[in-house]
Chain A
Amino acid sequence: MEEFSISIRQHEDIVLLDLNGFLDAHTSVELEKKFEELIARNCNKIVVNFQKLSYISSAGLGVFMAFIENARNNSGDIKLCNMSDKIYNIFDMLGFPILFEIYKEEKSALEKFA
Chain B
Amino acid sequence: MTSSTKNLARVRDFVGKRAAESGFDESTINQIILSVDEACTNIIKHAHRYDENETIEIETSFENGQFKIVLNYKGKSFDPNGIENPDMKEYFSSFKVGGLGVPIMKKFMSKIEFDRKNSNTNCLTLIKIIHS
User: How far is it, in angstroms, between the C-alpha of A114 and the C-alpha of B8 when the chains are bound?
Assistant: 40
CB closest chain-A residue, reference B27? A86
The reply on A37 being an interface residue by CB < 8 A is: no
Binds B, one of A7-15, A19-27, A41-49, A104-112: A19-27
Give the residues in chain A near B96, CB-CB below 8 Å.
Answer: 65
The reply on B117 being an interface residue by CB < 8 A is: no
Give the residues in chain A near B92, CB-CB below 8 Å.
Answer: 95-96, 98-99
CB closest chain-A residue, reference B100? A58
Task: Give the total of B residues in contact with A, Cβ under 8 Å.
Answer: 29
Task: Give the total of A residues in contact with B, Cβ under 8 Å.
Answer: 24
A contact face: mostly helix, strand, loop, or mixed: helix
User: How far is it, in angstroms, between the C-alpha of A1 and the C-alpha of B6 when the chains are bound?
Assistant: 12
Partner of A26, one of B6, B27, B104: B6
The answer on a CB contact under 8 Å between A94 and B98 is: no
* Contacts A24-B8, A94-B103 supplied; 8 other A-B pairs, CB < 8 Å: A1-B13, A24-B5, A24-B12, A58-B104, A62-B97, A65-B96, A86-B30, A96-B92
Nearest 9 Cβ contacts at the A-B interface: A26-B5, A58-B100, A99-B92, A95-B88, A69-B95, A25-B41, A25-B5, A65-B97, A58-B101
